[in-house]
Chains A and B, each alone.
Chain A
Amino acid sequence: MEIYVTSVPVDDQQMALEFYTNVLGFEKKTDDPVGGARWLTVVGPKSLDGVELLLEPTGNQAISEELEAYRDALVTNGIPWTSFACEGVEAEYERLSEQGVEFTQKPMTAGGVTMAVFNDTCGNLIQIIQQ
């Protein structure tokens, strides 16, 4: 098996698309209507045929309360929803901070790995890591 898509829950798909493309620099890959929402995915600019990130709406009434409680617990404790690789965490920290992105974890090196965590403005914390 291969991973073809992974997801991040977002409160507002359009705002999320703007943040993930305009600010973070991902590219939109698929945008299909599904019921009242969209099957909306983005990919890394250097891996257009790679794993897609699904910007999944949180509006599903059946699970929204539990999902919100879970996401709150993660944010409260500074735990990222998911993690993206980048070439330089320091450089990304500078670039994103200039665009107003709020970091909950400034670049930190531990065990030879540098990482940082920021708020994706869609309800999640996201880690970036340089290996």
Chain B
Amino acid sequence: MSSNDDVFRALADDTRRLILEELTDNEQTLFELCARLTMEHDVDMSRQGVSKHLDVLEEAGLITSTRRGRTKVLEFAGTDHLKAAAAWMDRLTENDTDTESERS
């Protein structure tokens, strides 16, 4: 089970955030993902580099890889983890608002 630490660590990199956005739109193979990152987002990175980012995202439970026949497909799987992280951030901002309203 991954913790909020893993989730925030995974999110602390713009390439990984971009990969997450790509995978929420549609599931893809590593090849397709690399092609899109290079051609649509000007990401200049080797497949090995992308793979390392995918490992971090998978470790944090934000994506999964599923075998389909002989091919492996990458999918977004982070809804619950991101909701938990967002809930924590919401609590902070809500407290902040309360403090301000108390003051006024």
- A residues near B (Cβ < 8 Å) are 72, 75-80, 104-105, 108, 110-113, 115, 117
Q: Once the chains bind, are B71 and A108 in contact (CB under 8 Å)?
A: no
Q: What is the count of residue pairs linking A and B with beta-carbon distances less than 8 angstroms?
A: 44
Q: Once the chains bind, are B38 and A111 in contact (CB under 8 Å)?
A: yes
Does chain A have a CB within 8 A of B17? no
Q: Once the chains bind, are A111 and B40 in contact (CB under 8 Å)?
A: yes
- Known A76-B70, A77-B29: A111·B39 in contact at CB below 8 Å: yes
Q: Once the chains bind, are A78 and B38 in contact (CB under 8 Å)?
A: no
Interface residues on B, range: 10 to 19
Contacts of B31 in A (CB 8 A): 77-80, 105, 117
18 CB < 8 A contacts A-B = A72-B70, A75-B71, A77-B29, A77-B47, A78-B31, A78-B71, A78-B72, A79-B29, A104-B29, A105-B29, A108-B32, A108-B35, A110-B36, A110-B38, A110-B39, A111-B40, A112-B39, A113-B39
Does chain A have a CB within 8 A of B30? yes
Q: 4 extra interchain contacts, Cβ-Cβ under 8 A, other than A77-B31, A77-B72, A108-B35?
A: A76-B67, A77-B47, A79-B47, A111-B39
Contacts of B35 in A (CB 8 A): 108, 110, 115
